[in-house]
Amino acid sequence: MAKMGPQVFLGFEDEIVTEKNKYLLNFKTNKIGGKADIPNNIKWEHPVCSLCQFPQPLIVQVYSPLDNSRYHRTLYIYACVNPNCWNQNESWTCLRVQMEDSVEETTPFIPKTNTMQWCADADDWDDDNNMNELEENGNVISPERISDEDEESFSLDESIRFNLGNLTVDDKNANIGAQGGAVGRQNSPAASAEIEGDEGEIITIDSPVMPQHDIAALLHETTPLPVEICSGVANSKRCNNALYFSPLFMSVWEESYSPSNVTDKHVKDLLQEYQSKEDFNISHVEIEDGADSGSKENYEKGVPAHGDKMFHYFLSRIQKNPGQILRYCRDNEGPLFLYPQMDIVGKCQYCQAEKVFEVQILPTIIPILKLHSDAKPSTRLEFGTALVYTCKNSCWSLDTPVRQETVIVQKEIL
């Protein structure tokens, strides 16, 4: 029997953290974005980018206690949103927090109930005060009443002329009320008509047009940070409170190495169920799976056209479990590299022990990261993959319960 490989856990996007469920948050919660949930007895300075000194928002919080350990253990991973610092190791920070299981946990948040009384305080929908008294239609007829005798005395032309004289056009739209209406565009192109002739006699020549924009620059263009955040750099406390990604829970599942076999079994079950109900013969239906060979034609796995086998393996492995944003394994399972790693991991700065790979953050998390202060979604981070290496001994002491680990970033391959 083949030996099972190291156990790899995958992180996936889960539901949004709201006021109703935020009481579930504590240092044992796996989540994306938000603010760090640290134990009550631990204090720290909010991490800043070592390149630009800009406060770093939290990317993920991972609860990762070790087997047969009496310590709670959580990893907090941060990154700088300054575009000048993207894809650089120094712009990322990983803080590891440990404490003994006997230490009191954080106090749960108790959501407040809505005390609004719908009977006494509810708005009266029939209240005339809520009506828009200034609501006007674009075409307003003069309220002046024309008598029947006067109307009979007019000729047809005079009647039309008189009625048009009583018609006034207001500049307010009927659907907008007193706030103003639609305004026609000034200097609009005049209407024109083109007489079509025999298509065989028409020759059209398009003159080449020079591009008006630098396409390469547009592809690398980023949305500037909100003014209130940039101005808050001088006041680090205010900036820390304003600069964070909208929080989401993160669900964790074990990696499935053969999703195709599971899918094939499900298809077979459905066909058998259909056969029993409809008396349908599935003997002529062939379902291929990876273990079948025999008379079936075999196809050799080709090398990717770009020749990059490492990047091809990276994509192939991720596509087996779509939607994953994080990979966790501390059992001698290496990360998925985009290209050969050139950076030196080094040793633990506290105990000089070796460092081992533990967490990998995938670029699939980028669309999920949305700054809380952004009015519309904007890209606030770019990277190929981020690899977190931690102390093999997971060293800890009472005087330094917070310890910094190593993050190595590989840029995206274009």
Q: So what's the pLDDT on residue 111? A: 44
pLDDT on residue 286: 42
Q: In the prediction, which pLDDT does 108 show?
A: 44
Q: Where are the domains of the chain?
A: 9-103+228-255+321-410
Q: Which stretches of the chain score pLDDT less than 70?
A: 1-5, 103-241, 258-307, 414
pLDDT attached to residue 36: 96
6/358 Cα distance (integer angstroms): 12
